[in-house]
Amino acid sequence: MSVHSHSATHQGAAAAGFDPSDPPAFPRHIVTAVLVSHDGARWLPDALAGLLGQERPVQNAVAA
């Protein structure tokens, strides 16, 4: 899998001015974080800090 979205065809992307050799900084991928915790008091703060500190922000979060 490459670092940019393949949702558009190469022909359609070329017509739209997209250059595959120069992908956008943040492609149209959606980041979803799923966090399941049971007695996570020791590690949960670090896990949450890691999610918040990502280069690409989380758009959807599911916690259980």
63 and 35 inside one domain: yes
Mean per-residue pLDDT, 24-47: 84
Q: Could you give the percent of the chain with pLDDT greater than 70? A: 66
Of 4-13, 23-32, 43-52, the poorest mean pLDDT is in 4-13
* Residue 33 near residue 56 (C-beta atoms within 8 A): no
- Asked if 13 and 37 sit in the same domain, the reply is no
Give yes or no: residues 19 and 38 share one domain: no
| pLDDT given at position 26 | 64
- Percent of the chain at pLDDT above 90? 9
Specify the pTM: 0.48
Same domain, 16 and 40: no
Angle at 33 between CA 58 and CA 10, to 5 degrees: 65
Count of domains for the chain = 2
Domain that holds residue 60: 31-64
Indicate whether 14 pLDDT > 60: no
